[in-house]
Structure 1
């Protein structure tokens, strides 16, 4: 991606835009009646905190005029069908990479639905919008020449392992063609630990547009900077420690009625509590069958219908819309629909569908829809149909004309984006926080395997790997000795990690460079938000351990017991690395993390009927884990595995390499090329399929054609369940959806 981005800039077709990645959670706001949302949820402590922080930003900016401006802002968003997205950074919602010194938010996107396709504002438009309303913006750098674009990536490569906010911002300021400082100084409000940078391709006109915006919209003053803003977020959370509802109530009352006139999204209506707001599951079916009265409804029906037909791993939950409860009747029903995508692979697969049908609307992370189902008499229905058809023709014409002027960029080029994270942040989050479960449940050896693999994936330099190994091994001994068998909570892990890192950094300049910055720990114990249900850092409800999120794809394998057996098999192609994977599993200390014995049968070294031998071995010890190291390319083999599962009470895990596939084959041609390359690198292969084989390419094509026409939906629910059960997540990339009997 980097090379392509530099090429596009060099040709004068585009500009690279770079922004800071603040370490917080997604918060979206569409006005008081439009709603406040976290990533895939609403009406909880996360959205209450977001509304409070946004309201306080208005007080800082407008002083005594804040109530008036808050009401105008709500009205403006709702009338123009606008939603703002923000990075919400607080110390009350759990730990990320560094506890912020202050609670704040920065606007990262503005979206306008209007009467056609959702339109995202360009960054110059976001800045002008925010300066008009005195909302905080992010730090932005623009690189519009080959020299500056190349220098940017070179600067990141030089700083990626030791970079913190101050040196990174200084370096980018010096090489960028345009630098627009953020309203909130990262060092002042969050600290030196910088999560990362986001680089994306934008219009070649962005530099000119940005300069014009900076001339026409100077940095606004903060009229409330010296005035009493009332109790802070931390004060309110500290004073209300009884339960989550009490904290929400106090936050919404303190933000004021101009910002939040009523609290229905959080507390329901007329005695209906939050848990009773779930609507019937048939809402989605009725929505798909209803006659659309506007363009947006028609496009949403297309999107949801496609996702349902393709069994994409997503849920479509509907809730009563209490904001419109006064207009409810049997013939007029209002809902909020939450489209929750469970896996990033869904976005990749949906993009494939968009390439086939360019009229599809895009799918977003954080997707909420107001649905109004109503009955109309024949006359009214005819009028609505006529109006919607006229609107559709007008919109299609407008969209066709707008698509013809995309700066000469192909779709894949216009959407190029890379996220570049810094090692000082990843030490805290990926290596320490995310490794806690492995460290406490599986021990130091498994933890070392975990963090070494992470560093290998990142391409961490050998010298840093050596330094980090020493530090993380010491951390493992320290924290296990202190907590014994009780795992350190990930939501407050920095209470222990930060003092440890501070002391470690003091020992030498090299240690200080490794850690980045330490010593400014914010104590959160007295004001951390209370969660009545376990949620992740974005506000989503966490599934119970051992279960997976619900999915439209059904499976009969709801619970897998570790007292039963397991068959790991490979619907693959020669060269897909199945033998290397099996060998790695066998050599991993502790195996798959439980007490069941491991047994592997390599097809190339097994004489006779391979699958019959597997069945015979499983009958001897039905509770062990069998690694079936042989390609399983057809339904005949799958049925044999099904029979083995039934006879020996075992589950089956199908494993395939990560591949997007083609229209007719689950493996892409790129994957086939990789497999061929691997086979042609082999020497003395036990199955005689190596560089000395005269027909190696033909054999691989034969295997490839065995899968022709077997494009299946990846069963994400089964995938998540089996990963939780088998702890194969360090090895498995994806699962192919074999016949549901397995």
Structure 2
């Protein structure tokens, strides 16, 4: 790294500290030789060996001020004492793992790196705590995650001397709060009634927002031959009432189209932009999905992926049981338009190649990506949930022999393969039911574990509503004022969710919300201390408890659970209750002794 010290005569003193490789490293020797000619002064080497003497170079007094002004001399200043291993190996090189595989895989990666370096247990714990916070920091919505490394490390270092020693003087005086404007924070509360502005638990938009009657709809199939897409399309076309609206439904079978199939779909979409198109062709990869997304934008349509339901494997969204059923079905075809049937000499090979097109994603990742791209997902029921465990085996290297062995095996187990499939009529009914819901706009996308970056707005402890209602009922029985207040509020139906906000991105900053990351999904005891209410507001005054010996503190000046607001009053106005009580405009009923209710710390 490099330090620039400016003097009054505008000369620059540059101290370069470089990692020293083994003495046999000729590349470093060449670099050192070149650098000596560029700088006035001396070069030296620091050795870890206590009995080793550092080499020093001679003075090069002829190099002038112009040499020192070279822009290349400033390249390394950005790191500013930042430990190279942390930024390069633990942060930068870990980003692909973090984004593609998630928090658990990232944690496994950085722990393995530290073990390779023989990092002490104490240092591992300190670095793990910091990297957990880094995960939640970029999880909060910064679009250029690597550019956030220095601001994150800077704010982390400022919090204690131990943190400063761990990461050094990182950053460039950029405050984390300056990045809050990138993503606007949502309302802090809003758990009262379904009709109000509630921050959703899933960032995925509902189909009510994305499926419109003045738009077209593309139904496509990320599947494998034998998944029954053509038979489904035929049944959907013939279903009484169609998909529940007046838009025309038509199907385009891939095996009957000459030339580029998706180009033909786009052409048909432009001819009838408000129609529902059943794209009867397997759409197995992200390249096809991107084409469908482009088609949706260019022809004013939405798209719905329809996939066979399956548990999948660790690296594929379809299980081997599902693959066996698909091959089994194909081998029972006759005169198939695409010539993939029992008369095909390599049908098993073709299906196995289709199966491998999905390698690299487990079921959760597969579904998450489709939902994030298209906003909804329809599942084709496939296998009985209580089926027997199938046997596993290997296939021969010679495909002709393997084909015959495969057919003998599948036909020999026809009873089993037929028994584990749900009836086709049942599958058709379920698919129609889901598609009709989407076409009507009544579909809510399922939540997935994978969140969009930028979705998190605040950290809070979610509380069980039933226990809150039980507490209020007890208070009403003991205090006539509480009973009188609650009698016409109908909280049993209006209070659908309850939480204690700990930190909000807009009010407290990114770093404040990220600091709760190490306690995510942990149980937190909440002490209910008092009930405050006015003619327009009601809330419980609370104080969070201790988790693993650490006190959980809310960044809110008055920690509380909002219970009720009058029509037109925002939930965040409940923060005014202590002041209203001080002014004699609200009532406070103490809960003595305080009641403890346990909730779960979550990000919203």
Structures share a fold, TM > 0.5? no
TM-score (norm 1): 0.26
TM-score (norm 2): 0.31
